[in-house]
Structure 1
Amino acid sequence: MADNSMVTLMAADHIEIQATLQAVKQCATLGTMLEVLDEQQTLGLPIPVLEVSGEALKKVIEWCEYHREDMVVETEQPGVAAQILTSLPQWDTEFFANIGDKDLLIKICNASNFLEIPLLLQYSIFVIAQALRGKSTEEMRAFLNIENDLTPEEEQKIREDNAWAMPQN
Structure 2
Amino acid sequence: MTSHDLAAALADAELIFDRGTLEREIARMAGKIRNDYAGSVPVYLTIMHGGLPFAAQLAMEIGVRGLDLEFDYLHATRYRGATSGGELVWKHRPATPLRGRRVLLADDIVDEGHTLHAIREWCMQQGAVEVRIAALAVKAHDRCVEGLCADYVGVEVPDRYVFGYGMDFHEQGRNLPAIYALKD
Bigger strand share: 2
Structure with higher Rg: it is: 1
Q: TM-score range by the shorter chain?
A: under 0.3
Tell me which protein shows more helix as a share of its residues.
1
Give the TM-score taking structure 1 as reference length: 0.28
- With normalisation by structure 2, the TM-score equals 0.26
